[in-house]
Amino acid sequence: MEQLGIDDVYERIGEFGWKQKIYFLLIGVLGLYGPFHQLQMVFVGHDPGFMCQAYFGNGTSLLNSCPDNRVDKCEKITYLGSLTSVVTTWNLVCDRAYLAKTAQSVYMLGTMAIGLPGGRLSDKFGRKRVVVICILMTIICGGMQAFVHDYRSYLLSKFFQGCFYAGTIPSFVLLLELLGPSRRGAVGTLSGLWFSIGIILLSGVAYFVQDWKEFVLVINVGGLVVPALLLLVPESPRWLLLHGREAEAKAVWSSIAEGNGKKFDPSWKIIGNAGVTDSDESASSLLRNPALRRITLIQIFSCAQITPWKARNSVFDNDRFTNSVVYYGLALAAGNFGKDLYLASALSGAVEIPGTLLLLVVFLCR
């Protein structure tokens, strides 16, 4: 009986054949859909400008300002243009303007709350199961926002929307675990295009549906196709093998081999990751063990201890956090770069595409 490692299996059945390309497209739909939740506040939270008819008794109106910066000093507020948003629905201007920004912060807080243990959930219950359930719950929480009548309920739904969307992150792991080792880097880089294209699509939908509640309803009802397509993707064979479900893992590999025009021998003895077990260890173990706790805290606070000889390591340790903050800051502020909100947002996604392709070329040519 021939013994093979997981990577050896993919070298036999195809590392990125037709079957895996189909999975790449199916999982890519989730990437396309991501901006519809991550960046919807560009439109849903947009302030279109307003006229405040003040209580001066002489019909005086103020443009984009309120007496003493207080909304209650306006007898009537008239918003400019046809676009509606949470700003126009709940008068989030002047002293209430911060509330519109709070919605995105609450959403991001939700992603952080589940983003940390989310990987552990997918390790325990399976990549596919967690991703499908979480995107479905994201859609439900997002769709509920079209029916809320007060801003507190809206913020609560945004929090849970962020929580569940964070649970879809293992989709990237699922994709890579269906590929051979020599293709994971390139395909992982290429998958970044989905989010960029999704920003362009988001801008197009927002242009045609300018009532924010209708917009939210359209993108969430239409988004039901995403979990339906993800059901066509198999579970990670690596995860199945690690959890003692060898027959199911072999069935997935056999299907991939058939789709790629290759052969999979069921008699192969597949060896998983050596030394990897499904234990009760979790992220909290990093704080329980004194040695691991010391290393973890050093890594967390290394950014506060930058010296000339440590500077490079500190940058590498913290670049992902910094990049994320800057990226989402620019993406969410796209509406401020020009007079056309929709064009500016679409361009913010379009400019990412050449960068991703250039990165792919650099990766392949290194």
Asked whether the beta carbons of 94 and 66 are under 8 A apart, the reply is yes
**Which pLDDT score, from 0 to 100, does residue 13 have?**
94
Residues 6+ apart with CB under 8 A from 303: 314, 317, 318
Longest dimension (CA), the chain: 93
Q: Distance between CA 127 and CA 133 in Å, rounded?
A: 10
Q: Distance between CA 75 and CA 106 in Å, rounded?
A: 31
Which amino acid appears at position 219 of this protein?
Answer: I
Nearest-CA neighbor of 130 among 145, 143, 114, 141?
114
* DSSP summary character for residue 264: -
Nearest-CA neighbor of 351 among 179, 240, 195, 124?
195
Domain boundaries of the chain, sorted by first residue: 3-36+98-272, 50-96
Structure tokens at 356: 């991703």
> 210 — phi, psi (to 5°)?
-95, -5
Nearest-CA neighbor of 262 among 5, 8, 11?
11
Q: Residue 50 forms beta bridges with which residues?
A: 79
Asked whether the beta carbons of 33 and 27 are under 8 A apart, the reply is no
**Which pLDDT score, from 0 to 100, does residue 267 have?**
87
**Domain 3-36+98-272 belongs to what topology?**
Growth Hormone; Chain: A; (1.20.1250)
Which amino acid appears at position 199 of this protein?
Answer: I
pTM, two decimals, is 0.85
Q: Distance between CA 161 and CA 99 in Å, rounded?
A: 18
Asked whether the beta carbons of 159 and 106 are under 8 A apart, the reply is yes
* DSSP summary character for residue 3: E
Count of H helices and E strands in the chain? 20, 5
**Which pLDDT score, from 0 to 100, does residue 284 have?**
64
Q: Distance between CA 167 and CA 232 in Å, rounded?
A: 19
Helix (H, G, I), strand (E, B) or coil at 178: coil
Q: Distance between CA 224 and CA 129 in Å, rounded?
A: 16
Asked whether the beta carbons of 186 and 363 are under 8 A apart, the reply is yes
Sign of CA dihedral 54, 56, 60, 63: negative
**Per-run averaged pLDDT (10 residues), the chain, 366 residues:** 86 94 97 95 93 77 90 91 93 93 93 78 92 97 95 96 94 95 91 94 96 97 97 96 93 94 90 54 66 70 47 49 73 75 92 88 74
Helix (H, G, I), strand (E, B) or coil at 38: helix
Which amino acid appears at position 4 of this protein?
Answer: L
Nearest-CA neighbor of 224 among 118, 142, 119?
142
